[in-house]
Amino acid sequence: MSDAAVTRAPRLAPRLTAWQWARQNLFGSVADSILTVVVAIVFGWLVWHALDWAVIRADWFGESKEACKSGGACWAVITARWRQVVAGYYPEGHLYRVALAMLFLAVAVFPVVKRDLPAWSALLAPVGVIAAIAILGGANILPSVPTDYWGGIMLNVLVGLTGAIFALPIGILLAFGRRSDLPIIKAFSIGFIEIIRGVPLITLLFMSSVVLPLFLPAGVNLDKLMRALAVVTLFSSAYMAEAVRGGLQSVPKGQREAAHALGLGLLQTTGLVVLPQAIRISIPAIVNTFIGLFKDTSLLYVIAILEVTGVIRQALSDFSWLGLENEGYVFVAFVFWVACFSMSRWSASLEKQTGKEAKPAREPA
Amino acid sequence: MTRAPAKKPAARKSAAAPQAAATPAPPARVRPALGPPCVEIEGVHKWYGDTHILRGVDLSIRDNEKVVILGPSGSGKSTLIRCVNALEPYQEGRIKVVGCDLKGPPKEATAARRKTGMVFQQFNLFPHLTILENCTLAPMWVLKKPRKAAEEEAMELLERVHIGEQARKYPAQLSGGQQQRAAIARSLAMNPEIMLFDEPTSALDPEMVGEVLEVMTEMAYEGMTMMVISHEMSFAREVADRVIFMDEGEIVEIAPPDQFFSNPKHERSREFLSRIL
Ligand SMILES: Nc1ncnc2c1ncn2[C@@H]1O[C@H](COP(=O)(O)OP(=O)(O)O)[C@@H](O)[C@H]1O
Ligand SMILES: [Mg+2]
């Protein structure tokens, strides 16, 4: 800096005004301008019609489709059955238990969503899920409510979260098993993963509810929902394993060596150094699996478990609501979309956070 | 370079002792005297598959001694110090660290491994932990130190390598030179008897080589036993007691640095020096 040369003061990079941006990006040439206008018109027309049908001319409440006279969507089919939509046939006086169970599920996901908590907080996940199931079922303390009465969105959330929370640790074990030096463990892990991944979930669900009981002695009656939960968990654990394996592979060998050189044992190296990095790398893949799993909970209706799709189908087959498929399925699609889209947003924000640790911009000197 | 018969510093093992931090800038550069053997390597052979990588290496390094290992790429330098740190197995021969055999009973082998610290070319800091956490991880989990004590010691070490103010940052937020110094502090936190360095400056931008070598030089004068693979001549000249020249899995020549650089005995050493000088 002792140089006599003129030092230029740094200044901000030039920034475009909204008008300049539009000129450059939307109306850069004649073709661009035509395209912009055409797309805008088509898009506007679609949005307008959707809004017109779903909101402006919609009817929201009523006892049957006769109540819907405005010509728009007839959401009465949903609102009239809101209790089933939310919780299936869970007894009316006990809905507070549904709310409580949802609260516990929220506690269960808390350690996953919120980072920088002590390691023991991971235990909240299984504890929260089991507590939620106990509250819903009664657990010999509250009046018992058999799982046949559970249903609606609550069931999708319950099955999705339970599956995810138990599938992740199983998936991690399988991923390590797949890389294990022990041939038996390796063969078992690969076999399990490849068999599960090669069979559609719907087949496994049928097998669990139709085939499995054939092999059980008469009188032994495993709960249908619990069987479905087990199937869903095992199913997604195979996918989770592959997601985690990708992460494990991308942790450089030098990390293990450094840990080893510091005297950390195999378990410590794995748990403190390799796994945390592998999980962070595989967050997008893990969330993808979660999203797939959550959407797959709609398949439960084929084994007569009344999750939200099942509830809606039942409503649509009711004489007073015949012919409202549009409303019914748009609603189901909306429910799943909201859930999955929030998960994907959340995963993107997590990636950004970890990105800061992994490769931030060099600090200016 | 006076080699005064100085007394061995009393607090050598408590490397984190504040005396280093307290002494003002240019420390009295007096070489501590050499002690009893620290690392004994006897007839070590190693194969990767059918390739004979180490072909009978014999080397004894004394307490407080610093050796710099030179040699062409692929001559087995890394393999040798990785064997000393038990990162690689060897098929024949014996390696003892402070009397503990690396192939002894499990307890002895673990003890031997604990006595060495290793600094890698690629730093290998744990990217998901802060610099401070990098330095406290092993003391807390291996030595079972309480967090507070571990953090205090780590902070002293980080001060000693001049990056105390970076303690709460993540490795990726530091420059290469700072990362390598953090890696040195992380190794020192385990109180090793001997530090192994595998080309600690060859992944660095040229302007950062100096700061890392300076830290290593300070460490050397504080009495650490060091085994360094490096082609930094100035460092070898100033710090090394002996230069060890390896080629094709063998130790070809061992000599004091002045002698080795000015008047190498062996034909292969001469050829190597002519190529790198
Ligand atoms: N994991 C390995 N598998 C097979 N050969 C290896 C492996 N690591 C090193 N080698 C070989 O061993 C020889 C010595 O390697 P190395 O000790 O890294 O040499 P240097 O550090 O002196 O450059 C080289 O020929 C290298 O190709
Ligand atoms: Mg090397």
Q: What is the DSSP string of A60-105?
A: ---SSGGG--SSS-BTHHHHTTHHHHHHBT--GGGHHHHHHHHHHH
- Say if the Cβ atoms of A254 and B186 lie within 8 Å: no
Q: Hey, is the C-beta of A118 within 8 angstroms of any chain B C-beta? A: no
The CATH number of the domain holding residue A306 is 1.10.3720.10
How far apart, in whole angstroms, are the C-alpha atoms of residue A191 and residue A177?
A: 11
Residue A180 lies in a domain: yes
Residue A66 lies in a domain: no
Q: Give the type of residue at A104.
A: F
Q: Find the Cα–Cα–Cα–Cα dihedral A44, A48, A49, A52, rounded to 10°.
A: 180
Residue B48 β-bridge partners? B51
Q: Say which residue, A357 or B217, is predicted with more confidence.
A: B217
B76 lines ligand 1 (CB under 6 A): yes
Residue A35 lies in a domain: no
B230 lines ligand 1 (CB under 6 A): no
Place of tokens 């001997």: B194
Per-residue pLDDT of chain A (365 residues; tens, 9 = 90+): 445 566 788 888 888 888 888 888 888 888 989 999 999 999 999 999 999 998 888 888 888 888 888 888 889 888 888 999 999 999 988 999 999 999 999 988 887 777 667 778 888 889 999 999 999 998 888 888 888 899 999 999 999 999 999 999 999 999 999 999 999 999 999 999 999 999 999 999 988 888 777 777 777 677 888 889 999 999 999 999 999 999 999 999 999 999 999 999 999 999 999 998 998 888 889 889 999 999 999 999 888 889 999 999 988 898 888 888 888 999 999 999 999 999 888 888 877 776 655 544 343 33
| pLDDT tens string B21-43 | 444 555 556 777 888 899 999 99
Q: Say which residue, B10 or B202, is predicted with more confidence.
A: B202
Mean per-residue pLDDT over chain B, rounded: 88
- Say if the Cβ atoms of A358 and B137 lie within 8 Å: no
- Say if the Cβ atoms of A358 and B172 lie within 8 Å: yes
A331 contact partners, CB below 8 Å, separation of at least 6: A75, A78, A312
Contact assessment for residue A58 and residue A70, using Cβ atoms and an 8 Å cutoff: yes
Residue A113 lies in a domain: no
Q: What pLDDT sits at residue B26? A: 54
Residues in chain B closer than 8 A to A265 (CB atoms)? 142
Q: What pLDDT sits at residue B21? A: 46
Residues in chain B closer than 8 A to A356 (CB atoms)? 170
| pLDDT tens string A257-277 | 999 999 999 999 999 999 989
**Closest CA to ligand 1's atom 3:** B48
User: Mean pLDDT throughout B118-142?
Assistant: 95
B85, B127, B137 member nearest A261 (Cβ): B85
Contacts 24+ apart (CB under 8 A), B23-27: B27/B218, B27/B221, B27/B222
**Which ligand has an atom closest to residue B121 CA?**
2
Chain A nearest-CA distance from B89, in A, is 13
Most B CBs within 10 A among A116, A257, A262, hence the mutation to make, goes to A262
Indicate the pLDDT class of residue B87, thresholds 50, 70 and 90: very high
CA-nearest of B207, B277, B272 to B73 is B272
For residue A326, count other CB atoms closer than 10 A to its CB: 13
How far apart, in whole angstroms, are the C-alpha atoms of residue B200 and residue B224?
A: 16
Is it the case that residue B158 has pLDDT exceeding 60? Answer: yes
Task: Give buried/exposed letters for B236-261 (b at 16+ CB in 10 A, else e).
Answer: bbbbbbbbbbbbebbbbbbbebeebb
Pairing of strands B51-62, B37-48: antiparallel
Is it the case that residue B97 has pLDDT exceeding 90? Answer: yes
What angle separates helix A275-296 from helix A325-358, to the nearest 10 degrees?
180
Query: How many CA atoms, within 13 angstroms, populate the side-chain half-sphere of residue B58?
Result: 2
Residue A261 lies in a domain: yes
In this prediction, does ipTM exceed 0.95? Answer: no
Residues in chain B closer than 8 A to A255 (CB atoms)? 124, 126
- Say if the Cβ atoms of B186 and A262 lie within 8 Å: yes
A264, A277, A356 member nearest B138 (Cβ): A264
Domain range enclosing A330: 78-90+145-357
The model's pTM is: 0.81
Closest residue, chain B, to A253 (C-alpha): B124
Contact assessment for residue B104 and residue B114, using Cβ atoms and an 8 Å cutoff: no
Contact assessment for residue B244 and residue B272, using Cβ atoms and an 8 Å cutoff: no
Contact assessment for residue A300 and residue A150, using Cβ atoms and an 8 Å cutoff: no
Q: What pLDDT sits at residue B12? A: 42
Q: What pLDDT sits at residue A5? A: 62
Is it the case that residue B141 has pLDDT exceeding 80? Answer: yes
Structure tokens at B164: 């105390």
Cα distances from B210 to residues A1, A365, B66, B238, in angstroms, run: 21, 18, 18, 13
Residues in chain A closer than 8 A to B131 (CB atoms)? none
**Closest CA to ligand 1's atom 13:** B74
Is it the case that residue B206 has pLDDT exceeding 80? Answer: yes
Indicate the pLDDT class of residue B84, thresholds 50, 70 and 90: very high
Residue A48 lies in a domain: no
Domain count, chain A: 1
Q: What pLDDT sits at residue A348? A: 84
Q: How far is the CA of B141 from the centre of ligand 2 (A)?
A: 30
Q: Hey, is the C-beta of A320 within 8 angstroms of any chain B C-beta? A: no
Chain A nearest-CA distance from B71, in A, is 23
Residue A34 lies in a domain: no
B114, B172, B173 member nearest A263 (Cβ): B114
For residue A316, count other CB atoms closer than 10 A to its CB: 16
Q: How far is the CA of B120 from the centre of ligand 2 (A)?
A: 10
How far apart, in whole angstroms, are the C-alpha atoms of residue A166 and residue A207?
A: 21
Pairing of strands B66-70, B242-247: parallel
Q: What are phi and psi of A6, to 5 degrees?
A: -65, 130
Residue A129 lies in a domain: no
Q: How far is the CA of B18 from the centre of ligand 2 (A)?
A: 34
**Closest CA to ligand 1's atom 27:** B74
Structure tokens at A102: 């949802």
CA-nearest of A300, A335, A339, A289 to A201 is A300
